[in-house]
Structure 1
Amino acid sequence: GLAAGPVVPTREWRELYAALDCTVAAAIHPFYVASFREFEAAGRPIVGSAPVGYEGTAAWLENIGRAANVSSELIDATKNRILPAIRGALSAMPIKGRITMSGYEGSELLVARLLVESGADVRYVGTACPRTPYSETDREWLEAKGVHIQYRASLEQDCAAMEEFQPDLAIGTTPVVQKAKELTIPALYFTNLISARPLMGPAGAGSLAQVVNAAIGNKTRFDEMKEFFGDVGSGYRAGVWEDVPQDKPEFREHYKRHIAKLNRARKAEEMV
């Protein structure tokens, strides 16, 4: 299931897929665990990762070719046709800046690989997905580049990573983006602005650079707004009021105790 972005249908791509003859499952999206079980039950090999970036595409073509017993000549011909275009696109649209990223789409590690190959300093990737054998090649590649991978990431972990690494850009879910902007860190919503873009092949190379670089370049605007507005409307004073609200810390403590009580009751029910 090639579901992480469009691939340019060159002649070598088509010949390679024809040679596969539906004998290999290309596992791109980690949510397809049930499908993987069916392929395994049918005796079909599964190849993880995706043709993303220069190194990712080269490795994926090799793995697909070996799994399907495709000739090395055809694999090399495909690589020679595709890889130079990817390298050229990556070098023409570099990304400079430190980035933390989180999401729940399932393509987080693939996006991170493309960002790293584009030149970005990616420090953290949080994904809602569990760790599976099908994303191991991506995990190993990213960790070798110094990227911390957090599977089953919580909102608290995503925000903590952002505060620790102080990125030039935070890519994440809505609450992560909101928290980033409160800290005057430029941010992009992963689902709408990142995961919807092409990732694979020459079409994917350089596809993230324009939106990412534009967002990083907005840092001075955030600083100017923060300096102008100060702390107005933050915390318990957020919103539009006729009078400035008064802080009520006792209410927060009461609510905190109430939540803790509910959690204890829930755990007690689970043990029964």
Structure 2
Amino acid sequence: MEPIALSAEQPQGHTCKLHPQSMCPAFGSLRILSRIEGSHPVMATDTGCLYGLTFVTHFYGARKSILAPTLGSAELYSGEVVEGTRMAIEAAAREPGCRLVPVVSLCVAETAGMPEELLPRKVGDAEVVLVRVPAYAIHSHPEAKDVALEALLRRLGDRESPREERTVVVLGEVFPADQLAIDAILRRMGVEATIALPGRSIDDLRRAGRAAVLAPLHPFYKGVTRLYREWGASVAGGAPVGISGAYAWLKSIGALLDLDPALVDRVAEEEREKAQAVLAAKSLKGARVLVTGYEGTELAYARLLVEAGAEVPYVSTSIGVDPLSLPDELWLKARGTQEVAYRKALEEDMAALDRYAPDFVLGTTPFAAAAKERGIPAMYFTNQLASRPFFLSGGMAATIGFVAETLERANRYREMLAFFAE
């Protein structure tokens, strides 16, 4: 599901970016839709895509079937896309406890034409929500998460009830301990409740429409951010990353909710002191690191590493340019990062490996493998970083500790290279 390694015959400087070099972007939507309790997804696509996406979705923890109509050449030629999808919706709605049927419309259905007005809006007790995620229009699986959440919130978000003036929607898939830490520190400042999205509860989606502030922790939720601005809610930029980032983020939340300034200052200052203590205990000074991946969070991780003393000359990500990512990009470039590549390709990462001779690489599986072939310590960005905290001082300690420990084992990589070269 990831890009293959480069062959010697592939020309440099002619990178095709018309399609993603990762798993089908629809995986991002299915990942969050299949985890919602009471949700039974329907996928409108051809058999090959259904097989691949179902496999990957179950591999990442889905515990329910994904229903789909039969969409082969005969059905497409005869114009039975809508009819087949309606039958699949009705079958999903009959599942015990079904409250939501998200219809994920992929490339084939979108190309053939999937008119939303011909699909039911509700079947029995189940809401039916169309989520359009053709890979030719959505180039990364993080951005497909944004598409799915925006569609759900537009349909389910409660805008009729009074606004909850001290409730914050914390937006982004994060390590579970991070969500607990963020909730705890915000409550200390006077926030009454946080709602974590994407999550498992349909009721959280409804309640999210009443929240006063949206805090997108990741920079690819541009559709959801746009929706909250339409609703007149405030949006907190940035994320609680590192010393300066966490301090500014906490102060921003306090200002947007009109919390007690003295209390906010005290909590933010305490957190800043904890983060400074983390850096005093362990530094990455002198290490050159390349941060590459397709999760959409690469710039934030690079920022943390730079603050810890590392040199990060090159950062790449699969998401597109967006105002949400601009502050981190400017921050990085002001502190020595020479290149930030959006909609990246493996070819660009390989060229950066030649230019910068890093001490450590965070990247996709093929890129990490290429670095290891040169005796450079390398880790798979997605699994190695997603499996540990990242935000606030606790996440800072976990991330810096992981990178530092890997750098301390650098000799092993060189020894293995020398061993197999003999």
Tell me the TM-score normalized by structure 1. 0.77
SS at match of 2:301: helix
Tell me the equivalent position of 1:38. Answer: 227
Instruction: Report Cα offsets for 1:127-168 as digits up to 9, x if no partner.
Output: 111121112221121111111221111111112112211000
Q: Which amino acid aligns with 2:228?
A: F
Q: Does 1:141 align with 2:331?
A: yes
| Counterpart in the other structure of 1:77 | 266
Match of 1:161 in 2: 352
SS of residue paired to 1:8? helix
Question: Is the Cα–Cα contact under 8 Å of residues 218 and 239 in structure 2 kept in the other structure?
Answer: no
State the AA in 2 paired with 1:176.
F
Report the more deviating stretch, 199-208 or 217-226: 217-226
Give how far 1:108 is off.
Answer: 1.0
Judging changes above 3 Å, is the alpha-carbon distance between structure 1 residues 90 and 2 closer, same or farther for their aligned structure 2 residues? farther
TM superposition shift of 1:37: 2.2
Q: What letter matches 1:17 in structure 2?
A: V
Q: Does 1:98 align with 2:288?
A: yes
Residue 41 of structure 1 and its aligned partner are, at CA, apart by 1.3
Match of 2:181 in 1: 8
**Which residue number corresponds to residue 89 of structure 1?**
278
Identify if the C-alpha distance between structure 1 residues 174 and 13 changes in structure 2 by more than 3 Å, giving closer, same or farther: same
Q: Distance in 1 between matches of 2:366 and 2:358?
A: 16
Q: SS where residue 206 of structure 1 aligns? A: helix
Please list the CA deviations of residues 3-33 of structure 1 after superposition, one character each: whole Å capped at 9, or x if unmatched. Answer: 3440526865203423999311111123322
Per the alignment, do residues 210 and 155 of structure 1 end up closer, same or farther by CA in structure 2, a change over 3 Å counting?
same
How far off its partner does 1:82 sit? 1.5
Task: Sort the Cα spacing of 1:103 and 1:16 in 2 relative to 1 into closer, same or farther, 3 A.
Answer: farther
1:105/1:195 contact within 8 Å kept? no
Residue identity in the other structure for 1:60 = W
Contact 2:291/2:314 (8 A) holds in 1: yes
- State yes or no: 1:68 paired with 2:242: no
Are the counterparts in 2 of residues 111 and 195 from structure 1 also a CA contact under 8 Å?
no
2-structure distance, mates of 1:74, 1:19? 17
CA distance, structure 2, for counterparts of residue 19 and residue 201 of structure 1: 18
* Structure 1 unaligned residues grouped into runs of 5+: 232-272
Q: Match for 1:162: what amino acid?
A: L
The aligned counterpart of 1:227 is: 418
Please tell me whether the aligned partners of residues 171 and 214 of structure 2 are also in contact (alpha carbons under 8 angstroms): no
Aligned residues: percent identity?
37
Specify which structure has the higher proportion of helix. Answer: 1
Aligned residue type for 1:121:
E
Q: Describe the SS at the equivalent of 1:24.
A: strand
CA contact (8 A) 1:103 1:190 kept: yes
Which residue is 2:236 aligned to?
47
Q: Structure 2: which amino acid aligns with 1:27?
A: P
Asked if 1:191 corresponds to 2:382, the answer is yes
1: CA distance between counterparts of 2:352 and 2:238? 25
Matches of 2:385 and 2:258 in 1, distance apart? 35
CA contact (8 A) 1:53 1:114 kept: yes
* Count of aligned pairs between the two proteins: 231
For structure 2, which runs of at least 5 residues remain unmatched after alignment? Answer: 1-169, 195-209
For the 8 Å contact 1:47–1:134, the answer to whether it is kept is no
1:175 Cα offset (Å): 1.0
Number of the residue aligned with 1:251: none
User: Which of 133, 147, 150 does residue 341 from structure 2 map onto?
Assistant: 150
TM-score by length of 2: 0.51
CA contact (8 A) 1:91 1:118 kept: no
